[in-house]
A and B are shown apart, each in its own frame.
Chain A
């Protein structure tokens, strides 16, 4: 039972490069989320999706894009990496709307230099 799987675990990017963080879940959850976690800070919502083909902005969407072509996958795209995007990124999914059912991935550590 894999749950929420994120790749890569670690990545170093140069300023201006682009990359995609992959996220997949095998629980058939409709709701998926991308958060970023900066040192000493709580989780900030970047984008979320309530189902395949539907995405919406969270609190800190600038500099990111997402797509949700299937129920399982919710990739996060950084088009022009900036040092401010150095952070730990967590993908999560939930069956319904209640916060208690959120499952988080193990995180992706991204450094932009």
Chain B
């Protein structure tokens, strides 16, 4: 089935550092979504992107919808310990939410 390539697979950073992760696909998506999953919890939506080139922020998080519509980026500035978790990208083509495709996740560890 359709897959998204999400990288990096894991990151170990010091508190205060900035973080970047991305997702790429061979197919075009109409919507890009970024989720965070805390240990033992379900994914929670962080940012939704709907237009090619769109840049959207949510606090210290900034995400961009790639101009080719085949990629998306998530940046976290000035990381803090509670940023620890797994970050997933998801792409949606036309149609319902059953068409959502998830990346494999980026596991973020923040050392105080």
Contact = CB atoms under 8 A, between A and B. Distances in A.
A111 B44 CA distance: 24
B4 A42 contact: yes
B90 to A, nearest CB: 6
A100 B105 contact: no
Interface string A81-112: 00000000010101001111010111100000
A33 interface: yes
B43 A98 contact: no
Nearest to A42: B102
Contact of B45 (A4, A33, A44, A102): A102
Interface in B79-109: 88, 90, 92, 95-98, 100-105
Interface residues of A, number: 26
- Most chain-A CB neighbours within 10 Å: which of B43, B45, B104? B43
A42 B104 contact: yes
A53 to B, nearest CB: 17
A31 interface: yes
Interface in A27-48: 31, 33, 40-45, 48
Contacts of A105: 42
A58 B12 CA distance: 34
A41 B100 contact: no
A45 B1 CA distance: 11
Contacts of B88: 42-43
A26 interface: no
B112 interface: no
Contact of A94 (B97, B102, B103, B104): B97
28 contacts: A33-B97, A41-B104, A41-B105, A42-B88, A42-B90, A42-B101, A42-B102, A42-B103, A42-B105, A43-B102, A45-B100, A58-B98, A92-B42, A94-B97, A97-B95, A98-B92, A98-B97, A99-B31, A99-B33, A99-B48, A99-B92, A100-B48, A102-B45, A102-B100, A104-B43, A106-B41, A106-B42, A107-B41
Interface of B: 1, 4, 6, 9, 31, 33, 40-45, 48, 88, 90, 92, 95-98, 100-105
